Amino acid sequence: MSANPIPPLHLYSVPSDSQPAPEALPKRERPRTAWTADQLMAADFPEPKWAVPGILAEGVSLLAGPPKVGKSWLSLGLGLAVAGGGHAFDALPVQSGPVLYLALEDTPRRLQTRMGKMLGGQAAPAGLTLVTECPPFPQGGSEAIAAWLDRNPDARMVVIDVFAKMRGQSPQGVSAYDADYVAVGYAKRLADHYGVAVVLVHHVRKAGSDDFLTEVSGTNGIAGAADATLVLKRARGQADGILHVTGRDVDESEYALQFQAASGAWQMLDGPVTDHTIGDTRAAILRHVRANPGSRPKDIAVALPQVDAETVRRTCSRMAADGQLTKDGGGRYYPDTETRTQGIPEVSQLSDCPVTSPDQHERRGQLQHEVSRLSGANEAEGMAP
């Protein structure tokens, strides 16, 4: 046996930066927690810091999804993008800053292989710190992460993959809800104190649900304690996944993503989610009606000679029933973003919460007043296989 065994990999063994550390770390003032009403209204608060604009703000974000859906590829890609100051999902520019990535289910070799594929020959960012072992939050994990954040005062994001490895044993004598809330609370305190985005990679239940929030594994205490919840679900059609996002500082949104196996990267697709999850016939009709609001089925059939008129008529009727089109009394069809739905708070079929208001700017890939229909990809209405 070797006289010098390899020490275990954990957060305490991360080497210090090559540059000399500052003589004294900047002191962080304890945040104020009480005001009178007039003081609170007169206070000037900075806008939340975004690790990924519109998707990951400072605070705790759950990133949940079924096994093997690609959560680790997605979270590592975000870490590389933020650490290097590139583009998240090859679409959203992000500001660079140090990132701590706790890959608690991976080996260094596997991480090296993944990053090599994702970087494609580009230099790896020095601002990304990767760790494969860390004690749970209650057993010193919080202090270890806090020490790294103290050494990196400009840090923008911490990724914990997976949350189950860090939560530790549940306190005795408390309910499951309270135990889940306490577990996320460790990450919440770190995120709030240091003003960083903390991403907890988590799992979903085996049983699906129309409300993506109820799919998060565990009790409602997990999603309730987090500031935002992101659920990556498998999709059909052109999209390989749909990223559902909701939170306190994040507008409820849906993004169509495509996984590039050659590079290991998740890319954001242009346009509303429905453009990438519905069948070919529906997508063609939707594109035509968007360009020609008020079209009748016979007009659409003329523009789509590859689909017979009866299929067009039947499909338009079903799309109206599914909320993908609206129909007036004269049999004319409109996109569901037209005047027939303006001024009426649209409620997402996924979470029973209002979707983004029409006066907000449309972001790439975001669904505006359109409800995705994840189960209707293989349409029978003339869709190509």
What is the per-residue pLDDT for 307?
A: 86
One-letter amino acid for residue 320 of the chain: A
Residue 76 pLDDT more than 60?
yes
Q: In the structure, how many helices (H) and strands (E) does the chain have?
A: 10, 15
What is the per-residue pLDDT for 294?
A: 93
Residue 167 pLDDT more than 60?
yes
Give the chain's length.
385
**More confident call, 278 vs 122:** 122
Within 8 A by CB and 6+ apart from 120, the residues are: 263
Q: What is the mean pLDDT of the chain?
A: 80
What is the per-residue pLDDT for 349?
A: 39
Torsion of CA 350, 355, 361, 367, to 10 degrees: 30
Task: For residue 104, give Cα distances in angstroms to 110, 111, 192, 262.
Answer: 12, 11, 23, 24
Residue 63 pLDDT more than 60?
yes
pTM: 0.70
Q: How would residue 99 be classed by pLDDT, with cut points 50, 70 and 90?
A: very high
Complete DSSP assignment for 262-321: TTTEEEEPSS-THHHHS-HHHHHHHHHHHHSTTB-HHHHHHH-TTS-HHHHHHHHHHHHH
Residue 194 pLDDT more than 70?
yes
Lowest mean pLDDT among 25-29, 155-159, 325-329: 25-29
List the Cα angle 347/349/350 in 5-degree steps. Answer: 115
The first and second tokens of residue 30, run together, are: 């304890």
What is the per-residue pLDDT for 120?
A: 92
What is the per-residue pLDDT for 16?
A: 47
What does the pLDDT average to over 355-372? Answer: 40
> What is the Cα–Cα distance from 195 to 198, expressed in whole angstroms?
9
The first and second tokens of residue 302, run together, are: 């003329």
What is the per-residue pLDDT for 281?
A: 85
Residue 144 pLDDT more than 90?
yes
Pair type for strands 157-161 and 197-203: parallel
Q: How would residue 11 be classed by pLDDT, with cut points 50, 70 and 90?
A: low
What is the per-residue pLDDT for 17?
A: 47
What is the per-residue pLDDT for 174?
A: 86
Q: What would the pLDDT profile of 289-324 be if each residue is shown by its tens digit?
A: 989 999 999 999 999 988 888 989 999 998 898 888
Q: What would the pLDDT profile of 344-362 be if each residue is shown by its tens digit?
A: 334 343 333 444 433 333 4
What is the per-residue pLDDT for 171?
A: 79
Lowest mean pLDDT among 16-25, 82-91, 239-248: 16-25
List the Cα angle 337/380/69 in 5-degree steps. Answer: 75
What does the pLDDT average to over 38-66? Answer: 92
Q: What would the pLDDT profile of 209-240 be if each residue is shown by its tens digit?
A: 555 556 676 678 888 889 999 999 887 666 78
Percentage of the residues of the chain whose pLDDT score is greater than 70: 76
**More confident call, 211 vs 69:** 69
What is the per-residue pLDDT for 204?
A: 76
What is the per-residue pLDDT for 296?
A: 93
What is the per-residue pLDDT for 18?
A: 45
